[in-house]
């Protein structure tokens, strides 16, 4: 058990260091090292778990995610610079079909890159958890995008089985 935790922390540290080095052009290590130590301590005591990943599903998820990021950028650009401002913001609830809490947190984090959506809270209910979302246009079909992301995550994460079924 201890070896597994050390291996996980080492992998996290290595990935964080590689990202830091790439994003800061190998500068600012005086800031990163204490920050990384604090993150490791927080991760240890918070007992946050990262869901396992099906490696065969990673390429499909990356393609889907990049496509959604690009569509989201164009959507925001069109809304900001387009001839008519098409906004009718509203708060909406989305029933989550993912069962693992870590998977639900990941879904809530990734929803914000979808066109016109931003997740605000995971609401716990006895029957089914829900996400509280802020949508830019309540008349848009935001449910389809969120359901597609949830389905992609279910295929990617080992803690989840298929989330098929009707709403």
**165 in any annotated domain:** no
CA distances (Å), 68 to each of 6, 56, 64, 72, 148, in order? Answer: 35, 20, 6, 6, 10
**167 in any annotated domain:** no
* Residue 143 · residue 131 · CB < 8 Å: no
Which pLDDT value is given to residue 77? 83
pTM above 0.85, yes or no: no
How long a stretch of residues is the chain?
167
| 70 and 152 co-located in one domain | yes
Tell me the two tokens of residue 39: 């993150």
pLDDT at residue 2 tops 80: no
Structural domain boundaries, residue 150: 55-156
**Measured distance CA(147)–CA(128) in Å, rounded:** 15
User: Pairing between strand 130-135 and 117-123?
Assistant: antiparallel
Q: In this predicted model, which residue has the larger pLDDT, 62 or 112?
A: 62
pLDDT tens track for 111-134: 887 777 888 888 877 667 898 898
| 26 and 105 co-located in one domain | no
pLDDT tens track for 67-115: 988 888 888 788 788 887 777 888 999 999 988 888 888 899 898 877 7
**Measured distance CA(160)–CA(19) in Å, rounded:** 28
| 63 and 135 co-located in one domain | yes
**166 in any annotated domain:** no
């Amino acid at each position: 058990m201890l070896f597994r935790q050390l291996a996980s922390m080492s992998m996290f540290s290595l990935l964080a260091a590689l990202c830091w080095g790439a994003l800061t052009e190998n500068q600012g290590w005086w800031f990163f090292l204490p920050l990384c130590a604090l993150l490791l301590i927080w991760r240890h005591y918070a007992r946050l778990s990262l869901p396992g990943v099906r490696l065969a599903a990673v390429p499909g998820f990356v393609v889907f995610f990049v496509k959604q990021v690009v569509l989201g950028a164009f959507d925001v650009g069109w809304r900001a610079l387009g001839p008519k401002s098409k906004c009718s913001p509203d708060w909406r609830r989305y029933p989550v079909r993912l069962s693992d809490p870590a998977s639900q947190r990941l879904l809530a984090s990734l929803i914000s890159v979808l066109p016109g959506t931003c997740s605000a809270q995971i609401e716990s209910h006895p029957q089914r958890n829900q996400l509280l979302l802020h949508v830019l246009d309540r008349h848009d079909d935001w449910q389809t995008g969120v359901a597609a992301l949830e389905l992609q995550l279910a295929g990617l994460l080992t803690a989840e089985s298929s989330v098929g079924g009707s709403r």
